[in-house]
Amino acid sequence: MSEDPLVVFTPSGRRGNFPRGTQLLQAARELGVDLDSVCGGRGICTRCQVRIGDGEFAKHGISSSNDHLTPLTDAESRQRESVLLKENRRLSCQVRIGGDLVVDVPEESQVHRQIVRKRADARAVDVDPVVRPMYVEIPEPDMHDPASHLRRLEKALKETWDVTVAGVDAHVLRKLHKTLEDGGYKATVMVRRGKRLIDIRPGFHDKVYGLAVDVGSTTIAMHLCDLLTGEVLASAGRMNPQIRFGEDLMSRVSYAMMNEGGAEAMTKVVREALNELAQETATEAAIDPNDIMEITIAGNPVMHHLVLGLDPTPLGFAPFALATDDATIMLASDIDVHLNTGTRIYVLPCIAGHVGADAAGVVLCEMPYKNDEMTLIVDVGTNAEIILGNKDGLLAASSPTGPAFEGAQISSGQRAAPGAIERVEIDRETLEPRFKVIGDDRWSSEEGFDIEPTGICGSGIIEVLAEMYLTGLLATDGVIDGSMAAQTPRIIQQDRTYAFVLHDGSRLIIVTQNDIRQIQLAKGALYAGARLLMDHMGIDTVERITLAGAFGSHIDTKFAMILGMIPDCDLAKVGSAGNAAGTGARLALLSSKLRRELEEQVRRIEKIETAVEPKFQEHFIDAMAIPHKTASYPNLTKVVTLPEPKFAQTDDAAGGSGGRRRRRREGRGKSEAAE
Amino acid sequence: MSEDPLVVFTPSGRRGNFPRGTQLLQAARELGVDLDSVCGGRGICTRCQVRIGDGEFAKHGISSSNDHLTPLTDAESRQRESVLLKENRRLSCQVRIGGDLVVDVPEESQVHRQIVRKRADARAVDVDPVVRPMYVEIPEPDMHDPASHLRRLEKALKETWDVTVAGVDAHVLRKLHKTLEDGGYKATVMVRRGKRLIDIRPGFHDKVYGLAVDVGSTTIAMHLCDLLTGEVLASAGRMNPQIRFGEDLMSRVSYAMMNEGGAEAMTKVVREALNELAQETATEAAIDPNDIMEITIAGNPVMHHLVLGLDPTPLGFAPFALATDDATIMLASDIDVHLNTGTRIYVLPCIAGHVGADAAGVVLCEMPYKNDEMTLIVDVGTNAEIILGNKDGLLAASSPTGPAFEGAQISSGQRAAPGAIERVEIDRETLEPRFKVIGDDRWSSEEGFDIEPTGICGSGIIEVLAEMYLTGLLATDGVIDGSMAAQTPRIIQQDRTYAFVLHDGSRLIIVTQNDIRQIQLAKGALYAGARLLMDHMGIDTVERITLAGAFGSHIDTKFAMILGMIPDCDLAKVGSAGNAAGTGARLALLSSKLRRELEEQVRRIEKIETAVEPKFQEHFIDAMAIPHKTASYPNLTKVVTLPEPKFAQTDDAAGGSGGRRRRRREGRGKSEAAE
């Protein structure tokens, strides 16, 4: 018993000898064990609870026992009565070491506990709170110590938390005296990035929340998170109210150009939506909106500029110059979001004029910069944002896919919503199709299926095209084989082209030749962008593909490959990331460390501008064919039997110049509408 | 001619050899010569002009000539035509070295030119601009360089100015694109503290101004300065509109305590006054208020809190806890002062609860921390703020003098204004007084003097008391000698005391026994505060005394010493500093370096709280006597013959406890008013 007791912390395995009487929390800190505290060791917050091993621990060569600790203190008894301190736990700030110990730090007592991620393949990351509540007890002012309230507060923060204050919000100064008086000179300070005081509350207060927002052109999605645990407490989403100013990005930029005050009007409505969603999530989670201290925002460059109140019109013309591509930190009130006066927004950095803070969010979500495998990430929207690379470097580009993948400019197309056809199979023999609609798990061929579909969404159109190709209804060049009309009534003639009748109910749902051209243009642009980056990287194949965004989550990746949207890859390594931009915003919300990581990585990404690369047009033309004119799909053909290619037309007929194609597309769109 | 030419810069004397063809500005920079530039060496701003020596310079061992420079450039010719470039000057950014040179840098071409100070004894200090305009030319955005506007701007600032940007105001981001477009990608950025971008203007713009403000309880004084030259361009002052809420500080604090929204009302009116004064000075100087980028504010703790919108009520009770005593930086809009969106305020630090940002201004103005001499500085107001020390350390205290020195609570007292008696002499033989009034240079005894005085101001009351004492009308204990009524009709009886008739015109102006008591209390408090600091410093004499503030500027320092307001000192070293707090605000406005110096010094000052020091009461009682009961005045008696002391009363009669004195004072005040 002459030696100092040995204390071993699990799961970290950190260990050390400490004199009897040492506070257990102090021992943990000296060893660098990750042990939480909001109250600064005063037995109030119950966040430093630990479990003491009881018995022989051969592995550590010691015998541990609850008896090797000082008895339950009053603070512990109170906390145990209020059930905050669990039965077999102790508060490490209350107990002192009296003998050898094995101390288990449960997950919920760690500051840097892991952020919960739904996908099994997502990298584990730890919470590293941007804003932390710190409880302090301050001596009352006194004639013999004429230091100001702020100075005494700063001293307490230094002593209890080793925090050196570097900046205090004006509103904190303004309520400092009253708050200290109200709390009997006990207060909780909200400390941002370990140095700035952004709020103060009387007494003990351990609630601090944040919002992660993905401002999409179509929808705005918000998650309310506990900044300390990383937990998502509520989620909400709504249509982006800017839609009334224009469906897609370019029409909104045009609106800003053509209407005095147009940008301001769009800024106003999106900010109102953010305020409403914030209140909605706070209500859902039953928390005080005043406790929301941090907001992160991801969005494409146009959304980024409109939320920040920056002029979006330069984004409408080459060279698409952003006002700033740095991560932007402001007060929430600077963008008219009114929560706590000290609440900050952090807008993720942009990568380039067409590759915005949404793409940065995708990068943070997927962390390709940590991969050994050469990874292709595609976030499909009106523009596809494409990231290629691995730990040795990343390339980024944006490719103008147009809105076809979102169901727009498709004759029976519609947004992904209940009633939309999302899955399609065509019988190889009978050429009869069957389908599933969003909101029902059954195939249309199953008994009792009686839903009248309202249209085809993006994933549905991909599947029907892939199936038409696999059954020979569609040639490699994208032309519907009119001769098949003899074999099946599903092929019908329209003017000089043919169409496929997917459903003939109260509503006729067909796939026209023009619909197929739209998809060919979109998938050609997508493939060409990816291929351009592969050229720059000097590679011919990729090892992993991730599809991000709503569309990317809905489609069957096999069908995307059958149509040649993406290059060949082991299908086991092609996956969906869901709303990766939103997840990126959530990671940036919960971790200062990840913000720094992202800011560093984003600046290292090499930007490739598709519009100035002649090779892009070449790749585009080749990629119009299904699945592709020149690229091979060895991985795909292992699992799918592709039809023999048969080119009915010349190169030119399959494409021609982008300008010509676009004109033609528009022309057809019009005639279609006129029918 | 094989050796590199020698270039000598005067007046600095810096010298070096440079290869032929070196730009002269570049040579100056390499040698660390202080040479200004706003345009970054593009021949636009004409601030880098120099004079080339012509002839033999034996001292430097070289022959210098204008011929040793490249010929006049187009930029120089244009500037010479517009007379911005003087006849015998060259632009150092335009010329290249072709031979030996002696280059004189005139005062106006230096960045760190001296700040003009009126007093001969004031220390010389240099301008060190807090905000500097920096002109840059930026490459237009381009598809091959997708960097954001901000990134290209930051790159240009780094290249031209070696500035590393650390923060950009939201409004700068918002107007970035338009400003760059409007200026053809030439712009001037306002850079604060060498790192933060607070404004941007199209093209070249070299105007930047600041306001130095002293917010006194009675008056607000504002100076508009050129931040680059340090010049004062306009000054304005007005009554503090808070006066309608209470004459002195304590009545304003009471108003805040007793009236819901009272503090906010006082905050509102003082801020309105600041806005109005800012517009007034800008109009007077014919400058654009939008070019005012910085404001410094000095004021006592109550004014400090009210301007900042902090609750002043804690300043009404012991322990007089300030919300903050640090220098406070905010946006001007945070205190509702609306100039440029990027304009900042810098509020000087406070020293203690009673020794505010005004005292800090006095410290900066006087810089006693640089003195070898032991210096006493007294800023007299309702509270006297007292600083004592030298380069080895400073002490500070506040002493409750009350408003008597400002003419309040004196029967014939009034503020210093035209019509007030400010100087008094009493004939040693006839005991007849003569006086001067503010606004007239003549003595009342001179021929043609026909002004009817309206009252006595602070300096007048000091002089009449000193003269009464020197003529024997007033005893050392402050009692008017009733027996003198036999010798002069100027001494009249009032109840059981006597009074002195200073003027018997349409208005009777007299000095009552109670008036003398008020001044005794005030001067006793002032002396006791100074003496307490001398005790703490362990000294019995001071080597220099400076009186600051309006009262300090008006009184004859000799009379102040005769009455024993201040300790003995060589009269040649007793002086007035004028509005030292305002001067301190101006120095802080013009120099970043001085701000850092002040912040450091203020934290080193030791605060002495008079209220908790028993010695203070003792000193107070002794200091009631004229000039003093125990202190000696060897320096004073060299120039003035003081009467023999005659104490008619006991210690107790001369004072007693502060509480008793105050009650008696109030009682007398009432009976006086009733007469």
Q: What is the pLDDT of residues B374-412, one digit of tens each?
A: 999 999 877 889 999 999 999 999 998 888 888 888 999
B43, B79 Cβ separation under 8 angstroms:
yes
Angle formed at CA A106 by CA A101 and CA A111, multiple of 5 degrees: 110
- Does B654 have pLDDT greater than 60? no
Looking at the complex, report in whole angstroms how far the Cα of residue A197 sits from the nearest Cα belonging to chain B. 13
Backbone angles phi, psi at B488, to 5 degrees: -145, 135
Gap between the Cα atoms of A567 and A636, Å rounded: 10
String of b and e for A618-656 (b: at least 16 CB within 10 Å)?
Answer: ebbbbbbbbbbbebebebbeeebeeeeeeeeeeeeebbe
Q: Which of B276, B267, B343, B331 is nearest to B299 (CA)?
A: B267
- Does B559 have pLDDT greater than 50? yes
- Closest-CA residue of chain B to A168: B328
User: Over chain B, what is the mean pLDDT?
Assistant: 90
The mean per-residue pLDDT over the stretch A33-55 comes to: 90
Report pLDDT for A663.
Answer: 38
Long-range contacts formed by B610-618: CB under 8 A, 24+ apart: B610/B397, B610/B398, B610/B399, B610/B400, B610/B528, B610/B529, B610/B532, B611/A143, B611/B318, B612/A143, B612/A144, B613/B532, B615/B532, B615/B535, B616/B528, B616/B529, B616/B532, B617/B528, B617/B657, B617/B658
* Chain B residues close to A143, C-beta within 8 Å: 318-319, 609, 611-612
What does B227-288 look like in DSSP terms, one character per residue? TTT--EEEEEEEE-GGGGG-SSHHHHHHHHHHSTTHHHHHHHHHHHHHHHHHHHHHHHHT--
* Chain B residues close to A319, C-beta within 8 Å: 141-143, 145-146
Gap between the Cα atoms of A274 and A262, Å rounded: 19
- Closest-CA residue of chain A to B321: A148
Angle formed at CA B653 by CA B650 and CA B654, multiple of 5 degrees: 90
Q: Where are the beta strands (DSSP E) in A193-343?
A: 196-202, 209-215, 219-226, 232-239, 292-299, 328-331
Looking at the complex, report in whole angstroms how far the Cα of residue B226 sits from the nearest Cα belonging to chain A. 28
CA B142 remoteness from chain centre: 52
Looking at the complex, report in whole angstroms how far the Cα of residue B651 sits from the nearest Cα belonging to chain A. 29
Are residues B328 and A173, on separate chains, in Cβ contact within 8 Å?
Answer: yes
Report pLDDT for B645.
Answer: 65
Quote the longest CA-to-CA distance of chain B: 103
Report pLDDT for A655.
Answer: 41
Q: Which residues contact A403 (CB under 8 A, 6 or more apart)?
A: A247, A248, A382, A409
Backbone angles phi, psi at B364, to 5 degrees: -70, -40
Are residues A609 and B143, on separate chains, in Cβ contact within 8 Å?
Answer: yes
Q: Which range (A10-19, A133-142, A666-675) has the least confidence?
A: A666-675
The mean per-residue pLDDT over the stretch B566-587 comes to: 94
Q: Which range (A109-118, A328-337, A418-427, A544-553) has the least confidence?
A: A109-118
Q: Which of B219, B323, B308 is nearest to B264 (CA)?
A: B308
Are residues B321 and A141, on separate chains, in Cβ contact within 8 Å?
Answer: yes
Which token pair is A105? 């730090």
- Does B663 have pLDDT greater than 60? no
| Domain residue limits, chain A | 6-109, 131-202, 209-347, 366-403+518-654
Looking at the complex, report in whole angstroms how far the Cα of residue A566 sits from the nearest Cα belonging to chain B. 26
pLDDT tens-digit readout, A261-271: 999 999 999 99
Among A152, A165, A173, pick the best mutation site for testing chain B contact (most B Cβ within 10 A).
Answer: A173
Are residues A148 and B609, on separate chains, in Cβ contact within 8 Å?
Answer: no
Report pLDDT for B667.
Answer: 37
- Closest-CA residue of chain B to A321: B148
Strand pairing partners for A398? A385
More confident site: B382 or B1: B382
Q: Given CA atoms B99, B101, B106, B109 in this order, what sign does their dihedral have?
A: positive
A542, A570 Cβ separation under 8 angstroms:
no
- Reported confidence tier of residue B660, pLDDT bands at 50, 70, 90: very low
The mean per-residue pLDDT over the stretch A464-468 comes to: 95
- Cβ neighbours, 10 Å, residue B627: 27
Nearest to B173 among A176, A310, A321 (CB): A310
User: Over chain A, what is the mean pLDDT?
Assistant: 90
Are residues B322 and A144, on separate chains, in Cβ contact within 8 Å?
Answer: no
The mean per-residue pLDDT over the stretch B18-42 comes to: 91
* Chain B residues close to A314, C-beta within 8 Å: 141, 149, 177
Helix, strand, coil share (%) of chain B residues, nearest 5: 35, 25, 40
A399: left (phi over 0), alpha (psi -120 to 50) or beta: beta
- Does A668 have pLDDT greater than 60? no
* Chain B residues close to A170, C-beta within 8 Å: 308-309, 330, 334
* Chain B residues close to A607, C-beta within 8 Å: 146
B265: left (phi over 0), alpha (psi -120 to 50) or beta: alpha
* Chain B residues close to A318, C-beta within 8 Å: 143
- Reported confidence tier of residue A406, pLDDT bands at 50, 70, 90: confident
pLDDT tens-digit readout, A501-536: 999 988 999 999 999 999 999 999 999 999 999 999
Report pLDDT for B647.
Answer: 53
* Chain B residues close to A173, C-beta within 8 Å: 308, 310, 323-324, 328
- Reported confidence tier of residue A658, pLDDT bands at 50, 70, 90: very low
Looking at the complex, report in whole angstroms how far the Cα of residue A381 sits from the nearest Cα belonging to chain B. 21
Q: Which of B529, B520, B523 is nearest to B617 (CA)?
A: B529
- Reported confidence tier of residue A671, pLDDT bands at 50, 70, 90: very low
Angle formed at CA B494 by CA B491 and CA B499, multiple of 5 degrees: 35
Q: Please provide the CATH number assigned to the domain covering B209-347.
A: 3.30.420.480
A480, A626 Cβ separation under 8 angstroms:
no
Are residues A170 and B308, on separate chains, in Cβ contact within 8 Å?
Answer: yes
Are residues A144 and B334, on separate chains, in Cβ contact within 8 Å?
Answer: no
- Reported confidence tier of residue B611, pLDDT bands at 50, 70, 90: confident
Gap between the Cα atoms of A17 and B311, Å rounded: 51
B6, B62 Cβ separation under 8 angstroms:
yes
- Does A444 have pLDDT greater than 90? yes
Q: Which residues contact A87 (CB under 8 A, 6 or more apart)?
A: A80
Are residues A324 and B352, on separate chains, in Cβ contact within 8 Å?
Answer: no
Q: How many CB pairs under 8 A join A and B?
A: 130
- Reported confidence tier of residue B112, pLDDT bands at 50, 70, 90: confident
Report pLDDT for A405.
Answer: 86
Q: What is the DSSP letter of A395?
A: E
Which residues does A contribute to its contact with B (CB < 8 Å)? 141-151, 168, 170, 173-174, 176-178, 308-311, 313-314, 318-326, 328, 330, 334, 350, 352-353, 607, 609, 611-612
Nearest to A146 among B149, B150, B609 (CB): B609
Taking the C-alpha atoms of A578, A584, A589 and A590 in order, what is their torsion angle to the nearest 10 degrees?
A: 80
Taking the C-alpha atoms of A362, A365, A366 and A370 in order, what is their torsion angle to the nearest 10 degrees?
A: 120
Angle formed at CA B375 by CA B370 and CA B377, multiple of 5 degrees: 105
pLDDT tens-digit readout, B70-92: 999 999 999 988 888 888 899 99
Q: Is the peptide bond before B368 cis (omega within 30 degrees of 0)?
A: no
Gap between the Cα atoms of B476 and B654, Å rounded: 10
Q: Would the CATH topology of A6-109 be identical to that of A131-202? A: yes
Are residues B612 and A144, on separate chains, in Cβ contact within 8 Å?
Answer: yes
Gap between the Cα atoms of A658 and A663, Å rounded: 9
Report pLDDT for A659.
Answer: 39
Gap between the Cα atoms of B406 and B404, Å rounded: 5
A296, A348 Cβ separation under 8 angstroms:
yes
The mean per-residue pLDDT over the stretch A336-365 comes to: 95
Looking at the complex, report in whole angstroms how far the Cα of residue A600 sits from the nearest Cα belonging to chain B. 15
Report pLDDT for A2.
Answer: 56
pLDDT tens-digit readout, B416-434: 889 999 999 999 999 999 9
Are residues A170 and B325, on separate chains, in Cβ contact within 8 Å?
Answer: no
A387, A542 Cβ separation under 8 angstroms:
no
Domain B6-109, second-level architecture: Roll (3.10)
Q: Which range (A655-659, B239-243, B373-377, B437-441) has the least confidence?
A: A655-659
Which token pair is B496? 């059981």
Gap between the Cα atoms of A523 and A567, Å rounded: 11
Are residues B144 and A320, on separate chains, in Cβ contact within 8 Å?
Answer: no
Report pLDDT for A570.
Answer: 95
- Closest-CA residue of chain A to B145: A319
pLDDT tens-digit readout, B175-203: 999 999 999 999 999 999 999 999 999 99
Are residues B143 and A326, on separate chains, in Cβ contact within 8 Å?
Answer: no
Looking at the complex, report in whole angstroms how far the Cα of residue A389 sits from the nearest Cα belonging to chain B. 20
- Closest-CA residue of chain A to B310: A174
- Closest-CA residue of chain A to B607: A146
Q: What is the DSSP letter of A36?
A: -
B101, B52 Cβ separation under 8 angstroms:
yes
Tell the CATH topology of A131-202.
Ubiquitin-like (UB roll) (3.10.20)
The mean per-residue pLDDT over the stretch A434-449 comes to: 93
Nearest to A322 among B149, B321, B328 (CB): B149
Are residues A174 and B323, on separate chains, in Cβ contact within 8 Å?
Answer: yes
Are residues B309 and A178, on separate chains, in Cβ contact within 8 Å?
Answer: no
CA B192 remoteness from chain centre: 23
Gap between the Cα atoms of A489 and A499, Å rounded: 11
Are residues A148 and B612, on separate chains, in Cβ contact within 8 Å?
Answer: no
The mean per-residue pLDDT over the stretch A172-181 comes to: 95
* Chain B residues close to A138, C-beta within 8 Å: none
Question: Which amino acid is located at B410 in the chain?
Answer: I
Q: Which of B310, B320, B327 is nearest to B361 (CA)?
A: B327
Report pLDDT for A645.
Answer: 65
Are residues B323 and A144, on separate chains, in Cβ contact within 8 Å?
Answer: no
Q: What percent of chain B has pLDDT over 90?
A: 73
Among B148, B302, B307, pick the best mutation site for testing chain A contact (most A Cβ within 10 A).
Answer: B148
Looking at the complex, report in whole angstroms how far the Cα of residue B303 sits from the nearest Cα belonging to chain A. 14
Which residues does B contribute to its contact with A (CB < 8 Å)? 141-151, 168, 170, 173-174, 176-178, 308-311, 313-314, 318-326, 328, 330, 334, 350, 352-353, 607, 609, 611-612
What does B70-129 look like in DSSP terms, one character per residue? PPPPHHHHHHHHTTSS-TTEEETTT-BB-S-EEEE--GGG-TTPBPP-SSTTSPP-B-B-
Strand order in the sheet with A491-494: A491-494, A497-504, A508-512
Are residues B324 and A350, on separate chains, in Cβ contact within 8 Å?
Answer: no
Report pLDDT for A646.
Answer: 58
The mean per-residue pLDDT over the stretch B113-141 comes to: 88
Looking at the complex, report in whole angstroms how far the Cα of residue A151 sits from the nearest Cα belonging to chain B. 7
pLDDT tens-digit readout, B212-233: 999 998 889 999 999 999 999 9
Tell me which residue has tokens 């584990």. Answer: A124
Q: Which of A309, A328, A293, A373 is nearest to A574 (CA)?
A: A373
Q: Which range (B94-98, B134-138, B146-150, B164-168) has the least confidence?
A: B146-150
Q: What is the DSSP letter of B571?
A: G
Write down how long chain B is.
Answer: 675
Which token pair is A495? 């003017």
Are residues A144 and B309, on separate chains, in Cβ contact within 8 Å?
Answer: no
pLDDT tens-digit readout, B259-282: 999 999 999 999 999 999 999 999
